Structures are given as C-alpha cells and as structure tokens.
C-alpha cells in the first residue's frame, strides 16, 4: 500500500505539472477501516505511524493537515480551472473484477451467506432467510449477496440469474425479491431484465 500511495502521489504531481498548474503539497494517508486491525511498524519505519491510521483518527488527521499548510498554493482561479480539467480528463473505470484475478462466475460461492457466523449458507423459508448454524434470521440478507453480484458480475440480472446466484429454486420467490427492490426493468416474462443500482 505504501508503494501504491507513493506512486499515486507522483502521478498526481506530474499531472499538475503537465497541465501547467502550480506545484502544491500533496499529503496522503492510508486509512484502515477495520478498528480491530493492529498497526505496528519497525523502529526504522517509525514515520509510517503518521501515515497509516485507523478510520476513527481520520477527522483529526485531516484537521491537522489543514492547519499544517499556512500559505495557499492555488488561487481561486487555478482551483476552478483544475476542477474543469480534471472533469474533462476523467475516465470511468471499466474493468472486470473477475477478469482481473483470472476468475469466472463458477469460482464464486453461490447462495446467501450468514453475516453473523460468516460462512454458513442461509436457506429461505416463508420470505425469511434462516441460518442452521447460529439460528440467525433476516428478511433482507439477499441484499448483501446482490450487492456482491453487482460489483463482481454486472448491473443487470434476470430471474434465472438471481435464482442461480442466491441458490433458490422458486421462480415466484425470485420475482418477489426483485419486486421488493423496486428495480427498473425491461422486457417481459422470462426475458425480463432488472437493473441493479447499488452504486447510488
């Protein structure tokens, strides 16, 4: 992660220079989202302690960074121009997560996984997801699985694809799940395609 951040700092610095903007200080952090993660550094790398932080420390760190810069590097004019140029040069990421790691849909674990015991597959009964392992129940556990589908496979899904991915056999149950999400759709009957929108 350290090397990645350093590379991104260098790329951003070069981008500003290439587009004739004044040089400016670029301050970066690596934020660990899991509060249980223990951050340790070797004595010779003690400076990393200030660069790698837990998410709870982020607001205070940003405030500290803001106060460490006393002279503005960008005028209001330069700032507005930088925003315009960045928007013009922006390209949405377009890549397959599965393709990046040389995986296929068959490599994915099918079904709805219990969020409580982190491994057991839930089964659906009377509109509720149940876990045989910890007895946890949920009406909406399928949303987590469909979010994974959205990011790993694609933004559209059919009744058949939903049944396969969630490991349910009932077409009517799949329809009820899709309808409960208030998704936009196109086509009719077996050809109906639903558009997932977890990026909003």
Place of tokens 């990011």: 151
d(CA 200, CA 119) in angstroms, rounded, equals 28
How is 157-179 classified by DSSP, letter by letter? Answer: EEHHHHHHHHT---HHHHHHHHH
Class of domain 97-195: mainly alpha
**Residue 175 pLDDT grade (very low, low, confident, very high; cuts 50, 70, 90):** very high
d(CA 99, CA 101) in angstroms, rounded, equals 5
d(CA 101, CA 152) in angstroms, rounded, equals 11
What is the per-residue pLDDT for 193? 95
**What φ, ψ does residue 26 adopt, rounded to 5°?**
-115, 115
Tens digits of residue pLDDT in 32-87: 887 778 877 777 777 777 788 888 989 999 998 888 888 777 788 888 888 999 89
User: By the 8 A CB rule, do 163 and 129 touch?
Assistant: no
Q: How many percent of the chain have pLDDT more than 90?
A: 34
Tens digits of residue pLDDT in 157-169: 999 999 999 999 9
d(CA 124, CA 16) in angstroms, rounded, equals 54
Sorted by where each begins, the domain ranges of the chain are: 2-89, 97-195
What is the per-residue pLDDT for 141? 93
CB atoms within 10 A of CB 28: 12
**Residue 199 pLDDT grade (very low, low, confident, very high; cuts 50, 70, 90):** low
What is the per-residue pLDDT for 195? 92
How close are the terminal C-alpha atoms of the chain, in Å? 27
What is the per-residue pLDDT for 25? 82
**In the numeric block, which tokens belong to residue 141?**
């556990």
**In the numeric block, which tokens belong to residue 177?**
């799940």
Q: What is the CA radius of gyration of the chain?
A: 23
Quick one: residue 95, left, alpha or beta (phi over 0 = left, psi -120 to 50 = alpha)?
beta
Tens digits of residue pLDDT in 93-143: 666 788 888 888 888 888 999 988 877 899 999 999 999 989 989 999 999
């Amino acid at each position: 992660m350290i090397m990645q951040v350093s590379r991104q700092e260098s790329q951003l610095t070069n981008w500003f220079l290439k587009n004739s903007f004044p040089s400016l200080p670029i301050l970066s952090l690596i934020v660990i989202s899991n509060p249980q993660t223990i951050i340790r550094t070797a004595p010779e790398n003690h400076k990393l302690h200030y660069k790698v932080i837990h998410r709870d420390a982020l607001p205070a760190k940003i405030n500290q960074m803001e106060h460490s810069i006393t002279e503005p590097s960008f005028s209001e004019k330069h700032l507005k121009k930088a925003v315009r140029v960045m928007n013009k040069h922006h390209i949405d990421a377009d890549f397959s997560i599965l393709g990046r790691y040389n995986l296929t849909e068959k490599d994915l674990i099918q079904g709805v996984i219990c969020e409580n015991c982190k491994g057991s597959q839930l089964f659906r009964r009377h509109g509720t997801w149940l876990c045989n392992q910890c007895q946890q129940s949920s009406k909406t556990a399928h949303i987590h699985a469909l979010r994974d589908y959205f990011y790993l496979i694609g933004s559209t899904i059919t009744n058949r694809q939903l049944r396969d991915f969630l490991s349910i056999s009932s077409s009517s149950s799949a329809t009820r799940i899709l309808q409960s999400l208030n998704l936009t759709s196109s086509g009719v009957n077996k050809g109906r395609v639903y558009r997932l929108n977890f990026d909003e």
